[in-house]
Amino acid sequence: MDITVLYVKDCPNLEPLMEELSEIIDERDDDFEVKTILVTSDEQARELSFHGSPTILLNGKDPFPYAKGEIGLSCRRYEHRLSDPVSSSGFPGIDELKKVLS
């Protein structure tokens, strides 16, 4: 599975997301290829359907549909629907990531 992480410069959520992805990949025997792409312009954001940093693409598709917000250079919020109560942060929770990577 190809995992692409789209991000903007100085994104505070990139490092914790990459740590979670690394933890999941290390404990699994699947074949994952992870790459990152720095998004630097509104034009590039439109081409990539970039809904904020960080955006995760699995085999080119966003597993966390983003119904609100515009495409462009911005931060992104993720709802943690597997937690009780539902909360949000700037990157998916490890349980949400494990679910979409299974």
Look at 42 and 31; give whichever has higher pLDDT. 42
Task: Give domain limits for the chain.
Answer: 2-100
Whether the pLDDT of residue 38 is over 80: the answer is yes
Whether the pLDDT of residue 16 is over 60: the answer is yes
Q: Where are the alpha helices (DSSP H) in the chain?
A: 14-27, 42-48, 94-100
Domain spanning 2-100, CATH architecture = 3-Layer(aba) Sandwich (3.40)
**Cβ atoms within 10 Å, residue 102:** 8
* pLDDT digits 0-9 by tens, 57-70: 999 999 987 756 67
Q: What is the pTM of this model?
A: 0.89
Identify the H or E element spanning 77.
Answer: none
Residue 67's pLDDT is what? 56
